[in-house]
Amino acid sequence: MTLSTLDLALVEEATKKSGLVWVRGTGPERALWHAWLDGAAHVLGDGPGEQPFPGLSDGSVAEVTVRSKDKGGRLVTWRAQVVELRPGGEAWNTAVAELKGKRLNAPDGERMTERWASQCRLLRLEPLSVDSSGHQGSLAAAPLPTPATTRQPIPAGLPKLLLKRRGRASGR
């Protein structure tokens, strides 16, 4: 099925403006940072220190949900053909140049493109169709388990410390 010009414009504008897209292949849905380039979203990961995207493989189909950057609500959901780009090719180099500017806090700075070429995967998500089913309800899901959890009980003395500071700030 071919996308209409209007559907393609909606997908492109919404995806370009969103910092994250939610992508589901055969695995769990994941929030992924991306770059829109040449009519498709490009995501990089599956390597050390990069975002994981299990269930996405070359030739598969994925569901991409784009959220509003300011309100966080769903703008559009579209189906994508997943194409893995090989390191060193023209398409790979162009996409990596765009993604490099969006990658925040890279541990290896200028050497990150070399690491990406040897240890990561770059996927191109090409729009196939727009989901017009009109999802009902919240679409909220429980967070995936992660070792990065930092939630711990607050220290016993913290409330007292905060109350002292508040008292000093109000001139007591």
In sequence order, which residues have a C-beta less than 8 Å from that of residue 62 and are 6 or more positions away? 23, 24, 25, 56, 79, 80, 82, 125
Mean pLDDT, to the nearest integer, of 74-91? 94
Which of 151, 96, 131, 115 has its CA nearest to residue 10? 131
Q: For the chain, which domains are there? A: 5-169 (2.30.110.10)
% pLDDT > 90, the chain? 49
Radius of gyration of the chain (CA): 20
* Rounded Cα gap, residues 83 and 118, in angstroms: 18
Average pLDDT over residues 38-67: 92
Evaluate if residue 145 carries a pLDDT over 70: yes
* ∠ Cα 117 121 123 (to 5°): 125
Pairing of strands 20-24, 35-37: unpaired
- The pLDDT assigned to 86 comes to 95
pLDDT of residue 134: 59
Q: What percent of the chain has pLDDT over 70?
A: 87
Residue 137: the pLDDT is: 63
For 161, the 3-state DSSP assignment is helix
What are the contacts of 158-161 at 24+ separation with CB within 8 A? none
Question: Can you list the alpha helix ranges (DSSP code H) found in the chain?
Answer: 5-17, 90-100, 112-119, 158-169
Residue 132 confidence (pLDDT): 67
**CA–CA dist 163, 101 (Å, integer):** 43
- The Cα 27–Cα 59 span in angstroms is 15
**Interatomic CA distance for residues 124 and 67, integer angstroms:** 19
pLDDT for residue 170 is more than 70: no
Residue carrying the six token digits 């016993």: 156
* Phi, psi dihedrals of residue 69, rounded to the nearest 5°: -65, -35
